[in-house]
């Protein structure tokens, strides 16, 4: 089992704090395994088994607890009076009015509450309103490249071979244990995709026309890293004979981002220091899913590695936007605890005209924030263009440099 040390340390660091610990992320990204790792750590730290209550609301054994009163009653009956209790509820969104049960458990003395969910609405909606200031969110993603390189399927392979497979098959933890053939990985990815689409999107939003929903998903996947809007998607579908309103597309897009299948990234005017409302971009939670959806289509390597950089910046706890400077674009403006960092991403800049094109937007920015150009080119110790540092992408992913 590959330990998710970064996420695990966040749980350990917040143990017994008077806040609800909320772990969110796409299905099968490892949330349940994280609970298992943390429970093992608790037991090694002296917590007894009867102080730990674990309920998985995806398990038929707990189907009767998908009502907030039943859930609260069950857990209340299993609490150990006079001692610390650690309550874990997996896939909490399956319980109707779950926030009432969670809030009541939180108020019980000596109860440390941990929940997971596969839908962002639980944070943007009712839970955030009810528990304002009383929870911390741990946003979980599938494996980073460094974590992926610890999986058994990478043994004896070069970093380049591992990266090519990471790009092709994605980074879902279980998929990373399967033999590296389409016949092994793709059926598993297909199962994840359809579960997300039906359970986390269509069922929650009462969407009956799955074919239209899938058309929107494929439009987003094929436009990954390119500016797109709900109106553009609606126009594309209407021209293909599918009548759909902009409002409906916006609702579907919100459901797809709430399920963590896609992430929306807004544009930021670097010169004017303001966020722009038009023409954002969408990135997918896993490149393996994107390749599954677009089998037979020509893959744009540049956009695929952009997607990987975006997800890695999220893992490193950055707030990420697209940078706009006059008529030029910077791929990512990443805001973190140490300030702002600018990133430009390209497959290769060995061609001089391509190098000039990629450097130009960064050169126009006259502040002192760090600026990086990430490529797949082998450049040894890196290059520096008047303060703009070029790194090999695989080095950046594995070495943890800024």
**Closest alpha carbon to 26 in 193, 202, 150:** 193
Q: Is the pLDDT of residue 400 over 60?
A: no
Mean pLDDT of 376-394: 89
Q: What is the pLDDT of residue 268?
A: 76
Sorted by where each starts, the structural domains of the chain and their CATH numbers stand as 5-139 (3.40.50.300), 300-402 (3.40.1350)
Helix/strand/coil (H/E/C) assignment for every residue in 64-113: HHCEHHHHHHHHHHHCCCCCCEEEEEECHHHCECHHHHHHHHHHCCCEEE
Q: What is the pLDDT of residue 93?
A: 87
CA atoms within 13 A on the CB side of 116: 25
Sign of the alpha-carbon dihedral angle for 182, 33, 18, 105: positive
Mean pLDDT of 106-129: 80
Contact between 215 and 242 under an 8 Å Cβ cutoff? The reply is yes
Q: What is the pLDDT of residue 127?
A: 61
When pLDDT is cut at 50, 70 and 90, the band that residue 11 belongs to is very high
- Cα 143 to Cα 149: distance, rounded to the nearest angstrom: 9
- Cα 43 to Cα 114: distance, rounded to the nearest angstrom: 16
**Closest alpha carbon to 68 in 105, 21, 39:** 105
Q: Is the pLDDT of residue 82 over 80?
A: yes
pTM of the shown model: 0.93
When pLDDT is cut at 50, 70 and 90, the band that residue 125 belongs to is low
| Six-digit token string for 270 | 């670097």
Alpha-helical runs (H) found in 240-345: 246-258, 287-293, 301-315
Q: Is the pLDDT of residue 111 over 80?
A: yes
Q: What is the pLDDT of residue 324?
A: 83
Q: What is the pLDDT of residue 274?
A: 66
Q: Is the pLDDT of residue 8 over 60?
A: yes
Q: What is the dihedral of CA 244, 249, 250, 255, to 10 degrees?
A: 140
Model pLDDT for residues 189-240, shown as the tens digit of each residue: 999 999 999 988 998 888 988 999 999 999 999 999 899 999 999 999 999 8
What is the longest distance spanned by two Cα atoms in the chain? 71
When pLDDT is cut at 50, 70 and 90, the band that residue 40 belongs to is very high
Contact between 257 and 118 under an 8 Å Cβ cutoff? The reply is no
When pLDDT is cut at 50, 70 and 90, the band that residue 263 belongs to is very high
**Rounded to 5 degrees, what angle do the CA atoms 202, 204, 207 make?**
35
**Closest alpha carbon to 110 in 84, 129, 88, 74:** 84
| Six-digit token string for 214 | 């899938």
When pLDDT is cut at 50, 70 and 90, the band that residue 183 belongs to is confident
- Cα 62 to Cα 305: distance, rounded to the nearest angstrom: 41
Q: Is the pLDDT of residue 291 over 70?
A: yes
- Cα 206 to Cα 228: distance, rounded to the nearest angstrom: 25
Contact between 334 and 350 under an 8 Å Cβ cutoff? The reply is no
φ and ψ of 87, to 5 deg: -105, 125
Q: What is the pLDDT of residue 271?
A: 66
Q: Is the pLDDT of residue 388 over 90?
A: yes
- Cα 174 to Cα 190: distance, rounded to the nearest angstrom: 13
- Cα 202 to Cα 209: distance, rounded to the nearest angstrom: 9
| Six-digit token string for 120 | 């962002």
Question: Per this entry, what is the length of the chain?
Answer: 402
Q: What is the pLDDT of residue 175?
A: 93
Q: What is the pLDDT of residue 123?
A: 58
Contact between 51 and 83 under an 8 Å Cβ cutoff? The reply is yes
Which secondary structure element, helix H or strand E, spans residue 40, and what is its range? helix 31-44
């Amino acid at each position: 089992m590959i330990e998710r040390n970064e996420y695990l340390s966040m749980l350990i660091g917040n143990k017994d704090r008077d806040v609800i610990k909320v772990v969110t992320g796409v299905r099968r990204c490892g949330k349940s395994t994280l609970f298992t790792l943390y429970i093992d750590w608790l037991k090694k730290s002296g917590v007894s088994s009867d102080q730990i209550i674990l309920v998985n609301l995806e398990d038929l054994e707990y189907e009767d607890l998908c009502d907030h009163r039943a859930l609260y009653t069950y857990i209340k009956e299993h609490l150990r009076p006079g001692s610390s209790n650690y309550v874990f509820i997996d896939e909490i969104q399956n319980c109707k009015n779950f926030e009432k049960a969670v809030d009541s458990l939180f108020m019980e003395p000596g109860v440390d509450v941990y929940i997971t969910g596969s839908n962002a609405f639980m944070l943007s909606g009712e839970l955030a309103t009810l528990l304002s200031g009383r929870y911390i969110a741990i946003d979980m993603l599938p494996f980073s490249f460094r974590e992926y390189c610890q999986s058994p399927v990478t043994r004896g392979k070069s970093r380049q071979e591992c990266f090519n497979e990471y790009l092709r098959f994605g980074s879902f933890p279980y998929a990373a244990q399967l033999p590296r053939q389409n016949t092994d990985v793709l059926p598993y990815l297909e199962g994840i995709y359809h579960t997300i689409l039906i359970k986390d999107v269509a069922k929650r939003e009462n969407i009956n026309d799955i074919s239209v929903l899938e058309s929107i998903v494929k439009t987003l996947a094929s436009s990954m890293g390119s500016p797109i809007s709900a109106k553009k998607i609606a126009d594309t579908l209407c021209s293909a004979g599918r009548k759909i309103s902009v409002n409906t597309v916006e609702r579907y897009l919100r459901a797809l981002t709430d399920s963590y299948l896609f992430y929306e990234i807004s544009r930021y005017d670097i010169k004017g220091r303001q966020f722009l409302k038009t023409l954002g971009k969408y990135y997918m939670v896993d490149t393996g899913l994107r390749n599954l959806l677009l089998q037979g289509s020509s893959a744009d390597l540049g956009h695929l590695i952009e997607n990987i950089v975006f997800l890695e910046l999220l893992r490193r706890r950055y707030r990420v936007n697209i940078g706009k400077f006059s008529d030029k674009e910077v791929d990512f403006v990443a805001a973190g605890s140490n300030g702002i960092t600018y990133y430009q991403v390209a497959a290769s800049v060995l061609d001089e005209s391509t190098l000039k094109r990629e450097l130009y937007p960064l050169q126009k920015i006259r502040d002192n924030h760090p600026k990086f150009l990430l490529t797949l080119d082998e450049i040894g110790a890196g290059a520096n263009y008047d303060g703009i540092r070029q790194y090999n992408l695989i080095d950046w992913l594995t070495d943890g440099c800024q």
